[in-house]
Amino acid sequence: MTKTNSLQILKNQLKHFGLNPNEWTMTPQDSRRCLITHRTDKELSFLGYTNLRKPRPEWTTLALRSL
């Protein structure tokens, strides 16, 4: 699975956390972490931890980074 596909799968999974995937941008930080920033309110962000070892990538944790 390509990095782009993995990011899109993870982005779509944001809805499981009550977030609208279309309102967020994702920036990989390393192989297991991703910065998730609101498109219009750049001060609002989460740090997401992923599990890429499963057949499909998935979030293990989302932590509020800033308000």
d(CA 13, CA 41): 20
Tokens linked to 29? 């930080």
Strand-pair partners of 24: 38
d(CA 47, CA 62): 6
Could you read off the pLDDT of 12-65 as tens digits, one per residue? Answer: 999 999 999 999 999 999 989 999 999 999 999 999 999 987 788 999 999 999
Q: Which residues fall within 8 angstroms of residue 27, CB to CB, at 6 or more apart? A: 34, 35, 37
Of 16, 4, 58, which is closest to residue 48 (Cα–Cα)? 58
The C-alpha R_g of the chain, in whole angstroms, comes to 11
Question: Does the global pTM surpass 0.85?
Answer: yes
